[in-house]
A and B are shown apart, each in its own frame.
Chain A
């Protein structure tokens, strides 16, 4: 993979609107792992079938079926969260396809390089957004979400803006700047050594 940051950013794009709370981030992470598991099986099946140009479409139909199964399981386990996240489970499937297609080579060799490091990033992104946007940390439950208040008095002086899509873009921009800054510092340190 040429540039991890860009690949992760592309994969994170469809999830920006949904990853607003840690509870949602956890559900989307489980969805991601499920797609990874089923995606590997589907890819193996497609490889054995050798359908030619239709291969990517068959693979995508398989991922769509996998997303439907996950939605049905979510409706059974967390009915309220399944309503809030409805469309975004399918967008997570899109995100998975983007991530896998960007670094198709590494997955083909049996390495999960692009998918596994993306998961902590997704969790950290949703946790930071929730903390800054609501002052809480939440976990998924059968009746919705369970919130722990981390920053007391957030209702009085907190800034809910960070929980919105616009706030998420600002946070991602700052994160991308930090990554670039650190990479440049590390590069210049190596050159001086």
Chain B
């Protein structure tokens, strides 16, 4: 149980898929703007991600790897994700034209989960942690935007420049549990 929790926290925070791997970073920058309804996409994204990871796990471990066709994995990921995305879109309300960043985030998450996991539960946990890391970062960026709007900031720093510097600070903050003596003392491994 602890091992699974560790995996979840590792990919959601200290090794955030968004900040460390860059998967979904452009989507987070895009979605933090006013009027974005990124939270409404959550059920669709999480369902697609879990279903695709599970389907691909069996395809990769039972078919592609035993027959030495590992080079087909990237194509299989895009195909399976595309088919599941179309199927799930029938049930979950989705925009008419899918946004590129959304698809890329989805593919990247599944790619990372199937590439780094050693078992199916771990793959699903990594995929869920990736989605969580995206939502955590986007919510934090939302808060930053609110703060920026209410503050007197030099015009040249407003918007993207300050956002990037803030993301640098988030990177440092999310690493903290891994290196802080306080955490290692309070939560010994």
B: interface residue count bin: 35 or more
Residues of chain A at the chain B interface (Cβ within 8 Å): 5-6, 9-11, 13-18, 53-54, 56-57, 60-61, 64-65, 67-68, 72, 87, 90-91, 94, 97-98, 101-102, 164-170, 172-174, 176-177, 180-181, 184
Q: Which 4 A-B pairs have the closest CB atoms?
A: A169-B168, A173-B164, A166-B171, A173-B165
**Chain B: interface secondary structure?**
helix
Contact A64 B75 (CB under 8 A): yes
Residues of chain B at the chain A interface (Cβ within 8 Å): 19-23, 25-26, 29-30, 71-72, 74-75, 77-79, 82, 86, 98, 100-101, 103-104, 107-108, 111-112, 115, 155-157, 159-165, 167-169, 171-172, 175
Contact of A57 among B20, B79, B112, B172 (CB under 8 A): B79
Residues of B within 8 A of A101 (CB): 100
CA distance A182 to B19 in the complex (A): 28
Contact of B26 among A98, A167, A169 (CB under 8 A): A98
Least CB distance from A160 to B in Å reads 14
A-B contact pairs, 5 of them (CB 8 A): A17-B21, A61-B79, A94-B108, A97-B100, A176-B161
Residues of B within 8 A of A60 (CB): 78, 82, 103, 107
Contact A14 B108 (CB under 8 A): yes
